[in-house]
Structure 1
Amino acid sequence: MEYYDLIIVGAGPAGSTLAHALEDSGRRALLIDKQSFPRDKTCAGWVTPAVMASLDIDLDDYARGRTLQPIRRFRIGMMGQPAVENDHRDIVSYGIRRCEFDHFLLSRVRGPTQLGTAVKSLQRQGGNWVVNGQWAAPLLVGAGGHFCPVARLLGDGPGRHETVVAAKEVEFEMSPAQARACQARGDTPELWFCRDLKGYAWIFRKGNYLNIGLGREDNRKLGDHLEAFVEAMKQGGRIPPDLPGRFKGHAYLLYAHAERPLVDDGVMLIGDSAGLAYTQSGEGIRPAVESALLAAEVIRSAGDYSASSLQAYGEAIARRFGNRAGESEPGWQLPVWVRNGLASALMRSHWFTRKVVTEKWFLHRDVPPLARAV
């Protein structure tokens, strides 16, 4: 048996950030992931300057041999009506490929890792959690996404009011002919809201790579909506007429409506494992990174790993992201006042699509970066 101070299950942005943030703390962490890296990850793939600042990433260094697409504009519309394009002039976000981004974050971790290793058993023995009968630690951190085994260990809550968003997308490198046929521009991601306001689609070009997808809370109709959207975009020339391969699926919880507990005795959940995706956009990279940094600060100062000691993490999450909504709150991304007949007009407004949809809901430009504790 090998003993550690904590075991982190999941080596994506949340898990890697936590392991990296604790390296000078005296806490010895083991990072486990069922996949080997670099690995494919279904994700539209953009990160804001705030995320890069919180991660202390040198942009010039990152851009060497990796995709880093500056974003200065957004094209936003409701399906079936013309889109509105807003120029932010400054760089407001960056397009990345998750296979590169996640591998880069993992490569910064100096501590021990176990990749290509599925969690087959979790057992409580005395004051430790034992993973696969091989590794033990008093603290277990779930960072393995929506289906994380540590989250299942804690239970998903009653589940009656949770909003689980299902999404499908494809990312591929375009051929020269496809690139010429594609009208979508790299510095201008496109967001297209479904007419029933239960989801939205996107087109995101990153150099020669193109990412297309759609996410909805009503996953029974996901395939139909995706097919209709793709066909409309082909007919309009926004995307190439020939798309390769299958669209891959994934799921996540929206923060305001997730009911998963964040802590228990010797257990913490971070990132998508905790259901931290932004309620208005479904974006999860910034919440994953920031929750890891908040967790690291609590772990550094915790006298023990009891639920009462770790509750400081839950309080920090509430201060940073707000309190979760009550049972009477609506489930999906858009407020009731948008749903009640105003959406079509608002989605044609330059002011609304820029100041509310883009800058507030998707970019969170009013929220300063979360600094890493030292």
Structure 2
Amino acid sequence: MDNYDLIIIGAGPAGSTLATALEGSDKRVLIVDKQTFPRDKTCAGWVTPAVMDSLAIDTQDYGADRTLQPIRRFRIGMMGQEPVENDHGEIVSYGIRRSEFDHYLLQRAHCDKVLGEPVRSIEQEGGNWVVNGRWQAPLVVGAGGHFCPVARLLGDGPGGHETVIAAKEVEFEMTPAQANTCKASGVTPELWFCRDLKGYGWIFRKGNYLNIGLGREDNYKLSDHLNHFVDEMKQAGRIPSDLPGRFKGHAYLLYNHAHRPLVDDGLILLGDAAGLAYTESGEGIRPAIESALLAATVIRSAENYSAKSLQPYGDAIAERFGKRARQNENGWQLPQWVKAPLAGTLMRSHWFTRKVVTEKWFLHQDLQPLKAAVQ
């Protein structure tokens, strides 16, 4: 049996960032993922300059042979009414393809990796965790997304009493004919809020790739809402009329909806496995990256991997993202005062859609980049 200091379950941005951040700590790290990389990943896929800064990514180098779509404007509206466009002047975000981005981050992680093998068992033996009967370590890190097997070891885990956000989306490379007829602009992602304010749809063009999707706070009539949104966008010429393939579904937890413990003896959860997606927008990439950087700091200095020694990670998450709402305060990401007849008027306001929806909820420009030693 191979021995490690920690085993990371999940090779996405959270897992690979943690492994990279622990380089030089003399800890032997193993990453395990059921997929081989590069792999297809359903995600709208945008990252702010803060993410690139925290990861010390040279955008010119990254964009030389990968999709990196600069974003300077946003088109925001409520379904059934005219949208507003706001020009931010400078680059405020980037569009990426997750298949490329995740592979890039994983390649930077210099540690042992086992890809293409699902986790079938995690069992405790003495002071160690044994994964698949093959590898053991005193610490197992859950970074495998909403259905991460490590999350099942803490609290209810996936399938418990959690309010899950359900989304469906498709991403494809447009043909020349589709690209010519598509009115969506790469520098201007489109966000369309459902009239009941329980979710939103999006159109995001990244170079010659187009991503279309819709997410809501539950599965109730999700396909109906999506089909209605897609039909409206086709009629308006925002997207091609001949979309290929079918929309893929996925689920995640918003920060204020999640009640999973973040740590236990020899266990720690990162990113979507911990339910860290931003409550206002559903973005999960930046929280995943930052949770990994915060965890790396704690793991480096922890005397052991008891829940008490790992609790500073939970404290750091609360300080960075705020305290989670109590269970009886659960609600969709929009504040209650927005869920009123005033919402339609607010979504027609350039000030509100720019300062609140875009800069605060989606870009988090009031939150400085998290600095960490990721080189």
1:128 aligns to what? 128
Deviation at 1:354, TM superposition (A): 0.2
Aligned residue runs from structure 1 range 264-279, under 5 A:
264-279=264-279
Q: Partners of 1:336 and 1:110 in 2: how far apart? A: 46
2:107 aligns to what? 107
Tell me, yes or no, if the aligned pair for 1:157 and 1:259 is still in contact at 8 Å: no
Deviation at 1:257, TM superposition (A): 1.6
Residues 148/359 of structure 1: CA separation in 2 closer, same or farther (3 Å cut): same
Provide Cα deviations, 1:218-267, integer angstroms capped at 9, x if missing partner.
Answer: 31210000000000000000000100001001000000120110000000
Deviation at 1:161, TM superposition (A): 6.3
Residues 102/84 of structure 1: CA separation in 2 closer, same or farther (3 Å cut): same
2:10 aligns to what? 10
Q: Partners of 2:78 and 2:244 in 1: how far apart? A: 26
Tell me, yes or no, if the aligned pair for 1:161 and 1:331 is still in contact at 8 Å: no
Provide Cα deviations, 1:321-373, integer angstroms capped at 9, x if missing partner.
Answer: 00000133241110000002211000000000000000000000010000114
- Identical columns (%): 76
Matched, 1:65 2:65: yes
Deviates more, 1:154-163 or 1:137-146: 154-163
Tell me, yes or no, if the aligned pair for 1:159 and 1:259 is still in contact at 8 Å: no
TM-score using structure 2 length: 0.98
1:286 aligns to what? 286
CA RMSD of the aligned region, Å?
1.2
Q: Partners of 2:307 and 2:158 in 1: how far apart? A: 20
**Ranges of 4+ aligned residues in structure 1 off by more than 4 Å:** 157-161
The amino acid of 2:360's aligned partner reads K
Deviation at 1:211, TM superposition (A): 0.1
2:88 aligns to what? 88
Deviation at 1:206, TM superposition (A): 0.4
Tell me, yes or no, if the aligned pair for 1:298 and 1:310 is still in contact at 8 Å: yes
Q: Partners of 2:219 and 2:151 in 1: how far apart? A: 22
2:298 aligns to what? 298
Q: Partners of 2:37 and 2:173 in 1: how far apart? A: 20
Q: Partners of 1:160 and 1:22 in 2: how far apart? A: 32
Tell me, yes or no, if the aligned pair for 1:10 and 1:145 is still in contact at 8 Å: yes
Residues 51/13 of structure 1: CA separation in 2 closer, same or farther (3 Å cut): same
Provide Cα deviations, 1:166-222, integer angstroms capped at 9, x if missing partner.
Answer: 000000000000000000000000000000000000000001100000000131210
1:116 aligns to what? 116
Tell me, yes or no, if the aligned pair for 1:203 and 1:213 is still in contact at 8 Å: yes
Deviation at 1:165, TM superposition (A): 0.2
1:218 aligns to what? 218
Tell me, yes or no, if the aligned pair for 2:167 and 2:213 is still in contact at 8 Å: yes
The amino acid of 1:324's aligned partner reads R
Deviates more, 1:313-322 or 1:148-157: 148-157
Deviation at 1:46, TM superposition (A): 0.2
Q: Count the aligned residue pairs.
A: 374
Q: Partners of 1:109 and 1:80 in 2: how far apart? A: 46
Residues 57/283 of structure 1: CA separation in 2 closer, same or farther (3 Å cut): same
Residues 8/236 of structure 1: CA separation in 2 closer, same or farther (3 Å cut): same
Q: Partners of 2:192 and 2:236 in 1: how far apart? A: 13
Q: Partners of 1:347 and 1:309 in 2: how far apart? A: 46
The amino acid of 1:228's aligned partner reads H
Deviation at 1:12, TM superposition (A): 0.1
Q: Partners of 1:352 and 1:197 in 2: how far apart? A: 16
Deviation at 1:153, TM superposition (A): 1.6
Tell me, yes or no, if the aligned pair for 2:253 and 2:276 is still in contact at 8 Å: yes
Provide Cα deviations, 1:29-62, integer angstroms capped at 9, x if missing partner.
Answer: 1000000000000000000000000000011110
The amino acid of 1:275's aligned partner reads G
Q: Partners of 1:204 and 1:243 in 2: how far apart? A: 14
Tell me, yes or no, if the aligned pair for 2:157 and 2:260 is still in contact at 8 Å: yes
Deviation at 1:158, TM superposition (A): 11
The amino acid of 2:275's aligned partner reads G
Deviation at 1:159, TM superposition (A): 7.8
Tell me, yes or no, if the aligned pair for 2:76 and 2:191 is still in contact at 8 Å: yes
Q: Partners of 2:157 and 2:340 in 1: how far apart? A: 30
Aligned residue runs from structure 1 range 181-220, under 5 A:
181-220=181-220
1:35 aligns to what? 35
Q: Partners of 1:157 and 1:273 in 2: how far apart? A: 9
The amino acid of 2:359's aligned partner reads E
Residues 161/326 of structure 1: CA separation in 2 closer, same or farther (3 Å cut): farther
1:358 aligns to what? 358
Structure 1: stretches of 5+ with no match in the other structure: none
